[in-house]
Structure 1
């Protein structure tokens, strides 16, 4: 061992990481995290690389993986070149956990919206969507084939956080639309009109009213067969109610105002709703 390398005795590693000495001894005994060697005095020690290995173990353990599963995932004594890939894989796992939580929260919001309107939501339908959505999240869109121009435009508009915020907002609105439709609410109901306003707002946010962006948005909508399964099913179930609600929302704008003319022009360009405003 290079005398300049930092080493940690078992108590020091326990204190630095919050893992008990007994747990570290267990990991050593089963070969999950063996000690790197012994000091001149015969005391077992760990290295900086061992600490990185322990951090991996702690991460996967926090997600509920068994020690055997963790054994297969952990990169022992990772090299510097491997650390970035390890962090990326951990980031993906965490984003999936976040997406699962957001799907459940969106479903709760959908229930509460229908109940607040005095309607009885379809519990079986919504819980079915919760299961489906947990198998579909924003990361799955990495498999979707975007044209180079679409990638460029979306890249200009979305940083990672904004992409996740938009995605979560979209799913909340779509789930609410399903709940309201199945509970028998009319598209012109004030609650449905609040939903329509929220939907139209995110459409304008992502397109910024730009003709090329609007066309690109319409292209993605029209290519729904290629979407991740959960999101495609959700959009198929919610689109009709959203269409009718948004159509009523736009028709209710004063027809002699600049706002109405602008909204109608954008509406007709988007081609994401089933009918044009008369």
Structure 2
């Protein structure tokens, strides 16, 4: 690393907090203990974070996710350079933890694979890729409790990679079929529509624990979508407004079906 910012982009402390799901208070604390200090300040003294600062924040968050304390993170960062090899090692360790415990969304895992793939081509991922990954970590971690993440991880582990991939393909097919019914404004009591929704719910059951625990994780998942549909929708192959309409349609079908 030469120390130069490749993009010239700058973020205020508020912008960085909002874009990465980190609180301003945490960023102030990182500054106070010397863990992350803004590389620049304006003439009036306001912090301005650079792309290199963003990469350091990513490393801090990743190491926290691996269970290190702030003191341990400071020691690790002091002993490692901000270069391709160090970032590759960190991302590999984080990916191994994700795959072992499966406590993150599939989109996050795929994003990390993408970052590693870019590193293999000897180019540092851009700031938007780090921002996207941090955003997904924040959405998932703040939605589900540790216990719920572990329960979801157990279900994914039980399915195995092949089972997860089969479910993903089946889900994509259901989305396509149901979106057609949304566009055609098919009646919600249409037997064909209800059969599709039953298949959708049965597919979701594979990923949730049984009984009351499963009801709770489903409730959290629905709330997570309602509160973060814009962020989550950007990672789906269908327009977000269509997916919102589809989720609303599913709810209306279930209300009529369960009445």
Which TM-score bucket, shorter chain as reference? 0.3 to 0.5
Tell me the TM-score normalised to structure 1 length: 0.37
Tell me the TM-score normalised to structure 2 length: 0.39
* CA radius of gyration, larger in: 1
